[in-house]
A and B are shown apart, each in its own frame.
Chain A
Amino acid sequence: MIPGAFTYHRPDSVDAAVGLLSEWGDDARVIAGGHSLIPVMKQRITDISHLVDLAGVESMKGISVDGGTVTIGAMTTQHELISSDALAAAAPIVREASLQIADPQVRYIGTIGGNVANGDPANDMPGLMQTLDATYHLAGPNGTRTVAAREFYEAAYFTAREDDEILTGITFAATSGGYAYEKQKRKIGDYATAAAGVLLTVEGGSCTSASVALTNLSDTPVYCEDAVGVLVGSSLDDAAVAAAVKAAVDASDPVADTRGPVDFKKYVAGVIVKKAIESARSRA
Chain B
Amino acid sequence: MEIIKTDVAIIGAGGAGLRAAIALAQADPKIRIALISKVYPMRSHTCAAEGGAAGVVKPDDSYEQHFHDTVGGGDWLCDQDAVEYFIHEAPKELIQLEHWGCPWNREPDGSVAVRPFGGMKIQRTWFAADKSGFHILHTLFQTTLQYPNIQRFDEYYATDLMVDDGRCQGLTAIEMKTGQMRRFQAGAVVIAGGGAGRMFPFNTNGAIKTGDGMALAYRAGAALKDMEFVQYHPTGLPNTGTLLTEACRSEGGVLLNKDNYRFLQDYGMGPETPLGKPELKTMELGPRDRVSQSIWHEIQKGRAVKTPWGDCVWLDMRHLGEKTINERLPFVRDICISYLGIDPVTEMVPIRPVAHYMMGGIHTDINAATSVPGLFAAGECACVSINGANRLGSNSLVEILVFGHRAGIEALEYARGQKPGNDAALATQGDVAQAKLRELFMRNVGKESISGLRKEMTDTMGEGVGIYRTQEGLTETCDKLADLRRRYADVALHDKTNVYNTDLLSALELGSMLDCAEAVAVSGLERKESRGAHQRLDFPARDDSKYLKHSMAYYKPTERPRIDYRDVVITTSPPGVRDYSGAKK
Query: A and B bound?
Result: no
